[in-house]
Amino acid sequence: MGMVISILLGFLIFGYAGWMMIRFIRTSRQGKCATCAIKEACGQKDCHCGEKKEPV
């Protein structure tokens, strides 16, 4: 029984941790959209926000 619970917990913990790391690396690449306050309600298809990428 202990082994079963250990395996289940192991999958949960390490699976969740691994998924969070992958998502974090993907989100970091998004830069501004990752921290955008309305990203969940955003109606934009991509994150270019209507402007070309211009350096300072």
The residues of the shown chain that bind other proteins, judged by CB under 8 A, are: 1-3, 5-6, 9-10, 13-14, 16-21, 23-25, 27-32, 34-38, 40-44, 49-51, 53-56
Instruction: Name the minimum Å distance from CB 18 to other proteins.
Output: 7
CA 7 to chain centre: 26
Instruction: Name the minimum Å distance from CB 15 to other proteins.
Output: 10
Report the alpha-carbon distance of residue 25 to residue 18 in Å, rounded. Answer: 11
Token pair 């079963």 is found at 4
Instruction: Name the minimum Å distance from CB 7 to other proteins.
Output: 9
Report the alpha-carbon distance of residue 47 to residue 24 in Å, rounded. Answer: 17
